[in-house]
Structure formats: C-alpha cells, structure tokens
Amino acid sequence: MTTAEKTSVRRAPFKAGRMGVCKALTVALLLSAPFSAQAKAVEPEIYTPVAPTIDQARANILIARQLQFTHFRDLGISDKLSGDVFDAYLNYLDGQRVYLTGGDIETMSKVRNRLGSALKTGQLQPGFDIYNLVQQRIIERLQFALETLDDGIEKLDFTTNETILLDRSEAEWEPDRQALDALWVKRIKNAVLAQRLNGADDDDIIDTLQRRYEGQLKRAYQARSEDAFQAYMNAFAGMWDPHTSYFSPRTSENFNINMSLSLEGIGAVLQADNEYTKVVRLVPGGPASKQGQLKPADRIVSVAQENEKPVNVIGWRLDEVVDLIRGPRNSVVTLEVVPASSSDETLTKSISINRDEVKLEEQSASKDTIELDRNGQKYTVGVITIPTFYADFRAMQAGDPNYKSTTRDVRKLIAELQQEGVDGLVMDLRNNGGGALHEANDLVGLFIDTGPTVQIRNSSNEVQVLNDDDASVAYDGPLVVLTNRMSASASEIFAGAIQDYGRGLVVGSQTFGKGTVQAVRPLNHGQLKITQSKFYRVSGGSTQHKGVIPDIEIPSRIDKTRIGEDALDHALPWDQIDAVPHTRYFDFSGIIEELRKRHDDRFAKSPDFRLLQQEIDFLNEQRQRETVSLNLDERTVQQEQIERTRLTIANARRELRGDEPFESLEELEDWQDQQAADLGSTDEELDFVIREGGDIMADMLELDKRMASILTPQQFAAQAEAL
C-alpha cells in the first residue's frame, strides 16, 4: 500500500454504520452536522455506533434504585439532576470542549431534562446517542489534526501574537466546525512549539504527534458498548458523590483495581480524568513512591516498555492503561507525564520505574530521633513515620502471634524510643492515605486511657461509636502529629482524635477531607461502589470535606485546588452531630499563640522555609497562568525564565547544604534522575518539616514543663481549679 493509500484510509470519512440500531435522536444528531470530506477510492474505516444491551438496561435500573434508596445522600431523580447528569456526561466525554460545537450542544440539549426519567427505567439510548455523536466528532477532529500534519508543520506560523487557553473546561463551546478547525490548528502549534523548545527536530515531532493522534483515532473506532455504559453510569452515580461509581464486569474481575485502582507493578493509585489517566496517590513502599519522581495529579500521556516505542494512552480506558503499565518484576516501564506543576499540557517529562511488588514490610512504621539544643538544654525528640494503616489479615486469621500491624509496630517503636530517653514524640502521617479503620482506632488507644475514637453515621442516621477499651497507654508524653493534604481517611481519624482529646498538637497542612465509607455491591452486570456512611470526630464534626485543620500550619507544595475532597465535584458537605463524652488531657489555649509566634519567627529566619515559600510562589504563578503564547520568541523567553527560576531555587538549596551549584538545567535533571534511582535518598522538605515538628515540641517543653509528663484528667482538673 502506498503512502497516499495509507493516508486515504486514515483520513477517510466515517459513516453512520448500523443506523438501524439507533433511534430517531441518533439520526437527528448525526444528520445535524454532515462531514464535508469526500469519499476516497480506498474503502474507508467506518465507525459503528454502539448500542445498549439488555443486561446493561437491567443494571441501570438496579443502580438507580440503589442510589435513591441506599446512598448516604438523600437525592431524588429530578429535572435538575437530569440536567446535572447531562453536564457531567459531556464533561467526561469532552471536558476541554475541543470536539463538540455549539450546534452539537444545542441538538443534544433536547434530551437534557429527559435523562433522569429514562435512567429510572433503564432507557439508555439517549445516553448512547450522545456517546456516539461525541465519538464521531472525536474522529473528525483527529482526522483534521493528521491532515494538518500531512500538510507540513513548516507551514505553521509562530511569529503571530496568538495565545491559547490552557484550561477550556469553562470556555464557551466553539460555534461551528470552522472555529474548531482554528482551535485545533492552535493546539497543534502549541504541541509543536513545546517539543521544538525541548530540542526535538521536526521529523521527530511529526512522528510523535502522528503516533499520538493515530493511537487516539484507533481507540475511537474501537469504542465498545461497555465504554459508553460505564461513562454514562459514572456521570449518573457521580451526582451522589465522587466516590460512588460503577465498575464494569472487566474492572470487577480484579479486586485491587475494583477497590483502589492500585496498579500491580509500580504502586500508584489512578483514576480517569477526562481523556487522561491521572495519578491520585502513590502506594507507600511501592516502586513509584521509592523512585520519587511520579507525583499526585500528574497525568499520563504515554507508556513505554523496555526498548520499545512509547504508546500514547490519551483517550484510553483506565483498565487498558492499567494493563499496559503492569508487567513482570524487575522490568522497566517508562511513563511520559504532564507534571502536576505544569501549566501547559504539552510540557511533559519521562519517568522510568522498575516494576516490583509492594511488600508489607516496606509500608511499615519506622523511627528516628532529632537532637535539639535550646540555650544549653538538650532535647531528644522521637519521630515515628507511618506510611499507611496496615494489618496482615492473613497472618492474623491464621493465628500468628507475630503478625504485623500498624498499632503493634508503633507500640514496639515507642518502647524503643523510650529506652533511648526521648523527651517528646512526633508522629508523621504525611502522605498517609489511610487503610484499616480498626488500626486507626487501636492506634489512638496507645495514647489515651479509654474512650471513643470515631463516630460512624449511616443513611438512616444511626450512629455507631468505635471505642478504645484498653486502659493501658503506650505513651503519655508530649505529642505532635504531622499532616499534609495527602493525609486521608484513617489518618484524619487519628489526627482528629488526638486533637479533640487535647492529647497533642496537629502540625502541617489541612488534610484531604475523605470522611466517607464505601461498600461494593454486586449487580447483574458489574458492581456498584456506593457511599453508605460518614465519619465524625468525637467532638461531633465530620472529617468529610473539611478534613483536619492543623493547630500550626506549614505551607506545602501540593495544590489544594486540585487535590482534596473539596476539589471534587458533588462531594458530600461537612456537617456536625452530637459530641460523645471524651476527656481533654491538656488545654493548649494558654500556649498556642506563643507556639505559633515562635514558629513564625523561626520560619521568617529560615533559609529552608524561604526557599520552600519561593518554590510555592513559583508553582502558584505557573498554575494561575490562563494562556500560553504561540509566538516562538515570546515562548522561548517564558521557558528560559522558568528554567532559570528552577535552577536558582535548586542551587540555593544546594548552597545551604554546602554542595556545588548546577551549571545548567540539564545537569540538575540528570542529578534528579540519579537521586530517583537511589532509593536511599531523602526528601529535603520531609527533613525540614520534621525538624520543625521537633522545634515545636521543644517549644512546648520550654513553655510548659507540665508537658514533660501529661497530666491525668484528675490532676488537670485539680490544677485548673487551683489556678
């Protein structure tokens, strides 16, 4: 086949295919915007519209009933909800508004207020009609992009003053095909320009973009009925809350994917994010976490096996991306990602990760100490890092007396630190995404006599209270708990209980705010993960949405507008129920302002903090950019400025540590790759924040000697009365 013939096949217009299976709305949608491309001599590839099955219709009815009658949120199916489902569905299918025109939206809007009643009764055709039209518009756009590349990128003009909007999720729909053509020329120019600035030549750029668009085109032609059904059901289920979702039969086959989307091989938790696959968090102890370069909110562009070309995965189904990233132990997979810190989706980086299994011992709690000198007074502060709340359930059920769990391991570490004579304890829960609920309950019990640890309310307003019934206390000294935005679920339960009991101070940044409980329920076709309960602190406030607010705040690089429960659509709100009786071990109100003042003074003088704040400001500036220039000279200046800032911050940090500065950004990136390969390397922010936790501990000991030995409730009451 000649090059011309191959091009003919790739550019061929699609046809309606089996139009007989579609109802009148499909015909109306497809005929509303005919395609102008002429038929080629070679038989064109045809998009076959997908259609719902009887099993899917039955599953839809079951899902609708479960959502209305068993979900925690009491939400009926109304005209308003119908419109919200319509918007959410379009946001999933065309979140950046680059495929559909205003005319398409006007045509589809005829069913906007009828989706709810159809979903109640398993009438899936309206949702499938929308899906089919979007797939055909995607094919048309990708064909246009490939034709533009065939015409030659040397024809693209990079001397104009054009700009392109980076985030089009709130933009107006382009009115017609001509406007979309102009937008796509800009998108292609942006992609070409970004790669030229990264040093790629035009042949490589054309090859990369052609493989990207052809891969997406192939996926569009291969659309399946299950793809439409899963997308439609998740738009529907997402109205109740972001953690309620439908799993197809294929997804349900694997428990790890079904429950947490935890990838075998690299240890990353992923989710679909419009046409991208986004990193939600890293599994503690996993290869990606130890490698150190993959970050939450990174979006995966391509996946490459060892010694093979990258496969573009934009527009792929999540389960297919999972399958591609999986692989045998000790093999290497390379992910091309759009970094979370990047304001431009065309600026990517490649991360190579050695596949391995996540071992329980690598998620285990660990300890360290910090030595502090305050005006001749020496303090030793113990640090216990808890990556996750774990328990070896298999060994536990087998009756192994030495089975591993968070609480058992922490109890041992506390005993060891006490033998070393520590004056205080810092518990590091940053990046701890939760885990076994009973472990959070038991862990609180190491620091209090007895009492409630968390409340759980179901959709019937019945409240269950979990208690620590063990009167023994592993540690009764002063305590600091470190949190950040990635501290979630069980971590929030522990931090909230310590705060409510006045048992210690919470230091760091606001936690994630994941305060809901899900259950997986089987359907005739797939499964439904549904939110059924909500966590509340012993003081009555929910951890949902708001999370735990630290007593002393430390800024973080993590973007709270993109990571966290309050960044998710339709998240359940914060609310409050009655508190349950609990002891207050210490009242920090008399010293908290002085602690904050000392912390602020220390940070004002700290070169580490100034660098961290400078980096946060730089990242925020990049995140706030709404457009990017398509002028080569202006874009070059912008990129050089970004590179200079990155290099300046990195060299300032090296100077603090007595290391030689990097001469170029390439040298910095090479060093970062080497550090990532060295699994024993440490995170500089981690050390900085832990040191500050130790300093706050020393402040506590200096300000109130009573903290050296926490008062019992009776002693505290007696002393308070005396004062």
Residue 173 is given by DSSP the state: P
Measure the CA–CA gap between 502 and 472, rounded to whole angstroms: 18
Alpha helical stretches, state H, 550-656: 592-605, 607-623, 632-656
**Which of 233, 317, 309, 305 is CA-nearest to residue 273?**
317
- Judged by phi (left if over 0) then psi (alpha if -120 to 50, else beta), residue 34 lies in beta
Choose among 484, 482, 494: nearest CA to 543: 494
Angle between helices 125-151 and 24-31 (to 10 degrees): 20
Strands 505-508, 479-483: parallel, antiparallel or unpaired by DSSP?
parallel
Could you give the residue numbers annotated as active site? Answer: 489, 500, 514
Exposure letters 499-529 (e unless 16+ CB within 10 A, then b): bbbbbbbbbbbbbbbbbbbbeeeebebbbbb
Distance CA 308, CA 315 (A): 21
As a whole number of angstroms, the distance between CA 673 and CA 334 comes to 13
Tokens 């006599």 correspond to: 449
Instruction: Give the number of other CB atoms < 10 A from CB of residue 20.
Output: 7
Q: Where are the beta strands (DSSP E) in 175-260?
A: 245-247
CA distances to 299, 357, 696 from 308, rounded to whole Å, are 21, 23, 51
Residue from 208, 237, 460, 477 nearest 346 by CA: 208
Between strands 332-338 and 299-305, the pairing is antiparallel
Torsion of the alpha carbons at 632, 636, 637 and 638, rounded to the nearest 10: 100
Query: What are the φ/ψ torsions at residue 36 (nearest 5 degrees)?
Result: -90, -10
Which pair of tokens denotes residue 453? 């640890």
Contact 292, 675 (CB under 8 A): yes
Measure CA 449 to chain center: 37
Please choose, from the candidates 587, 603, 598, 597, the residue with its C-alpha nearest in 3D space to the C-alpha of residue 704. 587
Beta-carbon contacts of residue 359 (< 8 Å; ≥ 6 apart): 285
Helix (H, G, I), strand (E, B) or coil at 200: coil
Dump the DSSP string for 90-116: HHHHSTTS-S--HHHHHHHGGGGGGHH
510 to each of 164, 307, 616, how far by Cα in Å?
A: 34, 43, 16
Q: Which of 519, 454, 518 is nearest to 491 (CA)?
A: 454
Q: How many CB atoms lie within 10 A of CB 163?
A: 15
570: left (phi > 0), else alpha (psi -120 to 50), else beta? left
Question: Strand pairing partners for 452?
Answer: 467
Residue type, 177: R
Reading the block at residue 53, the tokens are 């099955």
Q: Are 328 and 284 in contact (CB under 8 A)?
A: no
- Residue type (1 letter), 11: R
Do β-strands 527-536 and 451-458 pair in parallel, antiparallel, or remain unpaired? Answer: antiparallel
Distance, CA of 534 to chain centre: 21
399 to each of 359, 360, 389, 402, 403, how far by Cα in Å?
A: 21, 18, 20, 9, 8
Residue 538 contacts residue 453 (beta carbons within 8 Å) = yes
Give residue 197's Cα distance to chain centre.
29
